[in-house]
Amino acid sequence: MRRLLAVLIAVGMSVVAANEVEVFHWWAGDEGPALQALIEVFEEQYPEITVNDAAVTGGAGVVARAVLRTRMLGGQPPDTFQVHAGDELILTWVVADRMEDLTFLFEEEGWLDVLSPDLIELISTPEGIWSVPVNIHRSNVMWYVPENLEQWGVEVPETWDAFLEICPTLQAEGVTPLSLGEAWTVVHLWESVALAAMGPDQYSQLWTGQLPFDSPAGVEAWELFGEILECTNPDASGLSWQQATDLVVDGEAAFNVMGDWAAGYMYTTLELEPGTGFGWAASPDTEGVFMVLSDSFGLPRGAPNRDNAIAWLRVSGSLEGQDTFNPIKGSIAPRLDSDLDLYNAYLQDAAADFAVDRQVGSLMHGTVGSDPFRDNFFLALDVFYDTGRNAQAAASAAQAVALQFGVGR
């Protein structure tokens, strides 16, 4: 009995003694290096705290968010978790009163002076500031390999009309004009096409409920989307976003529309040089518009290691943390005092655009649109496929989902 007691005490002590911070996120495998670098910065500054790197594989957090939901609702939050700035953060966790207000941290760290007011607005409600943004990604980017385009005799299309014109030429050469991956990458493509078809004003009105999804402009977006899908690879549903990028890199496809984590993948993992190894342009018809999304970390109420989570947040928002993480990740730093000399040519270009472009929010990556809306928006895609690509049917399905679940804030 006494021995059992001793064992129990020892076990109890080791639980207390484990000084860790659980960081929950979806940057697994190929997506991991930037976070690993941030963890190194953290461990240098807080050598007494061990990072429990809780990665859940799956692009765009489709799987991670489901796991997180179960944990949060079940009263087992991680210490901190990756969450997109914007409606995903506010309408999922802030309205449910599951997050701690971080205004105190923003004041202590001086972040109110180094982050843009637009970004702070995305993570705020009148009651507080609810997460720490670690990056800014661009969703509406078209990727290609310059040498391959030259060989096939095609130019980077500035409009979808121009793309649709070169589509048969490429197909005749056995090249997939536009590579696509699993379902979420289809929604990712849809948002850039909708932006192209509707323009930034109307696209933004979708998320305030001012414009219904089945307006004539909304239907046109689906029509254009259907034409573009004709130019994509038939095996898309089985491919990750990295595999869709690989098709471009390997010369099997001409273009891919993906967020600029693809630049991170091509630069950091595939070691390609921006400009020669890969090229980029705003996705067709969206020049001058930056579809923005931002990964952030929040502090859930009841975080088991609250102080350590706050330490993690301090490093995530710091200049050193952000200028270490972002050049590897393929994103720019939200901090306005970030040192652009540390960033590659693609990221310098993205930063220049971000400074002057009109900004709109990404649906797939949580800037706009509630989680239930996004989850059920996938049904509109199913309707599109099931009805033989009937634009009107898909647009009214999207509108029904908007009415059922609400759109945004």
Which residues sit at the interface with ligand GAL, rule CB under 6 A?
Answer: 26-27, 31, 59-61, 137, 241, 259, 261, 293, 295, 365
Whose Cβ is closer to ligand GAL: residue 157's or residue 264's? 264
Helices (H), 357-390: 371-386
224 contacts 196 by C-beta, under 8 angstroms? yes
Instruction: Quote the CA–CA distance of 178 and 245 in Å, as a whole number.
Output: 10
Which CB sits closer to ligand GAL, 27 or 267? 27
Cβ proximity to ligand GAL, 31 vs 182, nearer residue: 31
Min dist CB 30 to ligand GAL, Å, is: 9
Phi, psi of 65 (to 5 degrees): -65, -35
**Residue showing the smallest CB distance to ligand GAL in the complex:** 59
CB atoms within 10 A of CB 334: 27
Report the C-alpha gap between 106 and 180 in whole angstroms. 39
Q: Smallest gap, in angstroms, from Cβ of residue 27 to ligand GAL?
A: 6
Residue whose structure tokens are 């080791």: 14
Asked if 288 contacts 282 with a C-beta cutoff of 8 angstroms, the reply is: yes
Helix (H, G, I), strand (E, B) or coil at 159: coil
Q: How far is the CB of 216 from ligand GAL (least distance, A)?
A: 31
CA distance 24 to 90: 18
Measured N-to-C along each axis, helices 241-249 and 183-206 cross at an angle, to the nearest 10 degrees, of 100
The residue length of the chain stands at: 409
Closest alpha carbon to 389 in 248, 175, 186: 186
**Count of other CB atoms within 10 angstroms of residue 16:** 8
Q: Which CB atom, from 163 or from 377, has the smaller least distance to ligand GAL?
A: 377
Shortest Cβ distance from residue 153 to ligand GAL (Å)?
A: 32
CB of 26 to ligand GAL, least distance (A): 6
* Cβ proximity to ligand GAL, 187 vs 219, nearer residue: 187
Q: Which is nearer to ligand GAL, 293 or 380 (CB)?
A: 293
CB of 215 to ligand GAL, least distance (A): 27
